[in-house]
């Protein structure tokens, strides 16, 4: 895929706007993609000797935001929010976002302020799989010749799960990936086993986290140890990581997982099974071989940990090159984050008396007490305790009047063509809230007294869409 000419011209205009501006504020999202986006923009502005502020925010603070700077840049957010409702004459706004836009390309016409929105969907490019927020910011960096930032664009795409449909990068993401390889930052292993923790987790532990479809090994390390020993690829007194397996051993494990899944999923899903197991793996070859920053998936998890704990600045400093103080702080945040996740999982699914309630077309849990910033992560982890044939929704309070809603589902449902991000946007809007996101990972903010109505409407919206 080549970048459309009009999109390229937009980047040239963005450069001109930045060159003419001296009072700059950047708003970016708090997840891995947003943090990577902010780090790329901040690095561009640093190298251009442009003083700037940067703030990482949730989507719910953006509607009718006060604009107090000459130039405001929104990255990995903004397209779906009313960010220019209070724009003043002469101000400048740049939006670099891949989420569904509220405004079309003609929106900027006849404004008394400058409005430039670079969104792939305006150019017929899928923002769920072909480029994310960090990728859009990288293409701006590339206009300056800063191709050494390509690896951050790759990391943002990993964190945004842009490779989940095909198991590898597609569209504009392929350009970023190749730039990172050419710059000597990235090594890609094609069609590797897609198991998280290839560097740092013993394989029997990593395998127990398989949750797209609940298998006998899911959340059961005794079973994973038995399976691996039976296959002859892991020994009781010499536990291996995934990276330590030979190709032949990986082949044995692949065939074993295919067998388990084939016995579990309905026949119509069998063709998707390889996508659950196989995918490209990404190694950042300039990172220490023993570091969790070496593997793309683990690095992206650490970025998300910072975002979920209001420590985005630490993550950004690591991305901008600090491998000393900021890296130590990143490790501490990640450790505390894992502890917090474990406690929250115990709260929801840690006993026989489960708190997961099943409806006809969905399942949900009340996450009261769980921080809004991590309820999405918890919802994804809860998949391993649920009926994979239905999406799972988690709720937690944001304040006395509002609920944060997070939805996750098995990749099989998204492969089947269901886009839960579009559905949640519609249903949240019907009850006076806002929402959106990707096919298998999305969320919303709704009034607290609309929870039951939201669930009923969502349940009915899925009538006929799920398969037994």
Angstrom distance (rounded) from CA 396 to CA 240: 38
Question: Which pLDDT tens digits describe the chain residue by residue (468 residues)?
Answer: 999 999 999 999 999 999 999 999 999 999 999 999 999 999 999 999 999 999 999 888 898 899 999 999 999 999 989 999 999 999 999 999 999 899 999 999 999 999 999 999 999 999 989 999 999 999 999 999 999 999 999 999 999 999 988 999 999 999 999 999 999 999 999 999 999 998 889 999 999 999 999 999 999 999 999 999 999 999 888 899 999 999 999 999 999 999 999 999 999 999 999 999 999 999 999 999 889 999 999 999 999 999 999 999 999 999 999 989 999 999 999 999 999 999 999 989 876 666 899 999 999 999 999 999 899 999 999 998 999 999 999 999 998 899 999 999 999 998 888 989 999 999 999 999 988 888 888 999 999 999 999 999 999 999 999 876
The answer to whether 166 touches 411, Cβ cutoff 8 Å, is no
- The token duo for 80 is 């779906």
What pLDDT, on the 0 to 100 scale, is given for residue 353? 62
What pLDDT, on the 0 to 100 scale, is given for residue 218? 94
Angstrom distance (rounded) from CA 129 to CA 446: 27
**What's the half-sphere exposure (Cβ side, CA atoms, 13 Å) at 330?**
25
Query: Which has the closest alpha carbon to 270: 259, 279, 280?
Result: 259
What pLDDT, on the 0 to 100 scale, is given for residue 164? 87
The answer to whether 121 touches 127, Cβ cutoff 8 Å, is yes
Query: Which has the closest alpha carbon to 134: 194, 84, 176, 185?
Result: 176
Angstrom distance (rounded) from CA 288 to CA 271: 38
What pLDDT, on the 0 to 100 scale, is given for residue 400? 87
Q: What is the mean pLDDT of the chain?
A: 94
What pLDDT, on the 0 to 100 scale, is given for residue 437? 81
Q: Using alpha carbons only, how large is the chain's radius of gyration in Å?
A: 22
Torsion of the alpha carbons at 349, 350, 352 and 357, rounded to the nearest 10: -20
- The token duo for 349 is 């699914």
Give the pTM. Answer: 0.91
Query: Which has the closest alpha carbon to 44: 9, 81, 17?
Result: 17
For residue 4, what are the CA distances in angstroms to 93, 120, 123, 144, 157? 22, 9, 7, 18, 20
Query: Which has the closest alpha carbon to 375: 358, 396, 355?
Result: 396
Report pLDDT digits (tens) over 444-456: 999 999 999 999 9
């Amino acid at each position: 895929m080549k970048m459309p000419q009009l999109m390229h011209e937009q980047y040239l205009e963005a450069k001109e706007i930045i060159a003419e501006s001296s009072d700059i504020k950047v708003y970016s999202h708090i997840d891995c993609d947003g943090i990577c986006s902010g780090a790329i923009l901040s690095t561009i502005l640093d190298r251009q000797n442009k003083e700037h502020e940067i703030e990482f925010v949730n989507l719910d603070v953006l509607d009718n935001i006060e604009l107090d700077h000459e130039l405001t840049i929104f990255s990995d957010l903004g397209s779906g929010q009313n960010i220019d409702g209070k724009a003043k004459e002469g101000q400048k706004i740049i939006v670099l976002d891949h989420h569904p836009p509220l405004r079309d390309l003609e929106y900027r016409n006849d404004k008394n302020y400058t409005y430039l929105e670079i969104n792939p969907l305006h150019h017929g490019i899928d923002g769920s799989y072909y480029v994310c927020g960090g990728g859009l910011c990288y293409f701006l960096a590339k206009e300056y010749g800063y191709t050494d930032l390509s690896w951050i664009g790759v990391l943002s795409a990993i964190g945004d799960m842009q490779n989940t449909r095909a198991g590898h990068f597609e569209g504009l993401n392929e350009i970023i990936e190749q730039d990172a390889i050419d710059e000597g930052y990235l090594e890609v292993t094609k069609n590797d086993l897609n198991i998280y923790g290839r560097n740092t987790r013993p394989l029997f532990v990593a395998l127990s986290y398989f949750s797209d479809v609940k298998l006998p090994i899911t959340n059961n390390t005794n079973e994973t140890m038995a399976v691996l020993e039976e296959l002859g690829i892991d020994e009781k007194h010499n536990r291996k990581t995934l990276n330590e397996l030979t190709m032949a051993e990986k082949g044995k494990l692949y065939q074993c997982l295919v067998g388990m899944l084939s016995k579990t999923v309905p026949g119509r899903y069998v063709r998707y099974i390889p996508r659950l197991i196989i995918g490209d793996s990404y190694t950042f070859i300039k990172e220490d071989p023993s570091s969790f920053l070496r593997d793309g998936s683990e690095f992206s998890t650490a970025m998300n940990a910072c975002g979920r704990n209001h420590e985005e600045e630490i993550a950004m400093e690591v991305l901008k090159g600090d491998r000393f103080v900021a890296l130590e702080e990143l490790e501490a945040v990640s450790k505390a984050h894992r502890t917090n996740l474990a406690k929250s999982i115990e709260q929801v699914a840690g006993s026989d008396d489960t708190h997961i309630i099943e409806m006809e077309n969905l399942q949900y849990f009340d996450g009261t007490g769980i921080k809004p910033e991590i309820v999405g992560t918890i919802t994804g982890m809860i998949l391993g305790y649920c009926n994979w044939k239905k999406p799972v929704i988690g709720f937690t309070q944001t304040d006395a009047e509002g609920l944060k809603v997070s939805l996750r589902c098995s990749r099989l449902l998204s492969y089947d063509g269901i886009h839960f991000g579009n559905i949640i946007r519609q249903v949240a809007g019907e009850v006076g809230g806002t929402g959106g996101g990707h096919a298998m990972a999305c969320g919303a903010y709704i009034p607290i007294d609309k929870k039951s109505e939201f669930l009923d409407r969502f349940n009915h919206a899925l009538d006929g869409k799920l398969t037994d």
